[in-house]
Amino acid sequence: MLITRHISPVLPGFNLTLGYTLSYLTLIILIPLAGLVVFTFQLSIEQIWQIISNRQVIFALRLSFITAFMSALINSILGLLLAWCLVRYNFIGKKIIDTMIDIPFALPTAIAGITLTEIYAKNGIIGQFFAPIKLAYTPIGIILALIFVTLPFVVRTLQPILEDLPNEIEEAAISLGASSWQTFRFILFPAIFPAWLTGTSLAFARGLGEYGSVIFIAGNIPMKTEILPLLIVGKLDLYDYQGAACIGLLMLIMAFILFLLINTLQNLFHISSNGISGVKHG
């Protein structure tokens, strides 16, 4: 006789839980996004095209994507190295460094922007050594500010994955004759790749919409250091709500397409990894 055992769920039933989830999602995310669409389509199609095809908007959009991408790319490498050191090595000051990683989360972004501007200005502590290059009030300064703000996303995403990887995997690979580079490339990196891609994409998304830490160090110079969030705020200051919403919607659509591609890539990677694993076990 087969005895079935009913286990009471800790959380409410599926319908109730799904209802709470959809209600919360609607109030917090969907309604504000719907407002963005409503404000935008108060304009005609011709007016929308005139706004998004404006030379200043195109330049700001290109600068936003380039600076966010460069900062995310740099943090994808630095964040991986930093997370690896924090997980795999013990050294003096490790707890202090681990705590400092979260400072950009707690520090008001405007304060961070003012501080970074003072440091990287022509007569700043660091900027004085790069006077010919001029860090502040240039795209380089924007990238430096975004690196500061987005570094925790990569580190904190990778740390739990690296902690779960047993050292025996590396030891087994090395004992079988694999070099350090081969061990990292074929054993470790495939295991951390989804988390690495997630952290990098989160850093890119934060950098794409960052405003507070960039406004001071960028200088808001049109056609030079004006990124898209600065342009949106400028339109809001002029009470051009439809124009600001139109640019925001354009930014939202491009970010959504980018994340959709990233999620598709992650799913394909998981499928291929499971397929290879199944062949090996078979």
Give 158-164's long-range contacts (Cβ < 8 A, gap of 24+): 158/79, 158/80, 158/83, 158/84, 158/192, 158/195, 158/196, 158/199, 159/83, 159/86, 159/87, 160/195, 161/191, 161/192, 161/195, 162/83, 162/84, 162/87, 162/88, 162/192, 163/87
Angstrom distance (rounded) from CA 281 to CA 195: 24
The predicted pLDDT at position 281 comes to 45
pTM of the model: 0.82
- Degrees to nearest 5, angle at CA 132 with 131 and 134: 60
Residue 66 tokens, joined: 């380039």
Whether the CB-CB separation of 87 and 162 falls below 8 Å is answered with yes
Burial of 133 (0-12, 13-18, 19+ CB in 10 A): exposed
> How many of the other CB atoms lie within 10 Å of CB of 64?
25
Interatomic CA distance for residues 37 and 131, integer angstroms: 45
For the chain, domains (ranges, CATH) are 39-275 (1.10.3720.10)
Encode the chain (282 residues) as per-residue pLDDT tens digits.
Answer: 445 455 555 666 677 778 888 888 888 888 888 888 888 888 888 888 998 888 989 999 899 999 999 999 999 999 999 999 998 888 888 899 888 998 888 888 888 888 888 888 888 888 888 877 888 888 999 999 999 999 999 999 999 988 888 877 877 888 888 787 888 888 888 888 888 988 998 899 888 888 888 888 888 888 888 888 888 888 888 888 888 888 888 888 888 887 788 778 767 766 555 544 443 444
Give the pLDDT of residue 74: 95
